[in-house]
Amino acid sequence: MQRKINWFGIAGGSGTIALIVISLFVPWWIFKVGSGLTPGKGLIEASVSPLNTNFAAAGSDSFTVPLIWALNLSMMLTFAAGGIIMLIYSVLPMKPYSKKLLDFSYKKPLYAVAFFVASLFAITLLVQGLLGFSVPLAGSSNVQLPKAMTEGASISVLVSADFLWPFWLGIIVAGLCIAAKLYHRKIVPIQKPVSAQPVQPSSSESVAH
């Protein structure tokens, strides 16, 4: 009997592990104040991903916020568990416990991407509501700072942001994990419950009646 393997799961699990390593060095989204997207040229810089987030100001080393670091760490551990479990499931899709492994792991990249995008939208809306100027999710724009922040002076700064390639890789990985869920139905057909047949009385019981 040929051994069945969920190749979408192999690709999704491997992609998840690779995405963890890549995200430690390359952010999903970059934001800069005071310059374009040239590395190391902004007055304020933010390199953001669900797994690693760093901030930097002109003339200072990069730093992180303890709460954000804790969130990144928890997301990294969840990602790693999801990727490893997806790989285990993919080579053993016929085991009785395989569906539980799949149900645990396939959602992790999708939830990470959705939470990341929702968080960016929430941050931009919060900044606009509190400070009175909009922050682009992608592209560059000149932002007029509120005069309350500049003591009445009229000051505008260049604000730039962009999604980098690990973000798009995250979307691809999420798609592969969803494909693994759908492909599971093909390699492991759903067994329909057998309906109970009514018990027929024996001939001796019929004669007795």
Element containing residue 30 per DSSP (H, E)? strand 29-33
Q: Which domains can be identified in the chain, with CATH numbers?
A: 7-208 (1.20.140)
CA angle 162, 117, 21 (to 5 degrees): 75
Looking at residue 140, its amino acid is: S
What is the residue-wise DSSP string for 111-159? HHHHHHHHHHHHHHHHHHHHHS----SSEEEEEE--TTTTTT---EEEE
Q: What is the pLDDT of residue 139?
A: 83
For residue 59, name the pLDDT band (cuts at 50, 70, 90): low
For residue 32, name the pLDDT band (cuts at 50, 70, 90): confident
pLDDT one-digit tens code per residue, 94-104 = 888 888 999 99
Is the pTM higher than 0.85? no
pLDDT one-digit tens code per residue, 8-31 = 999 999 999 999 999 999 999 998
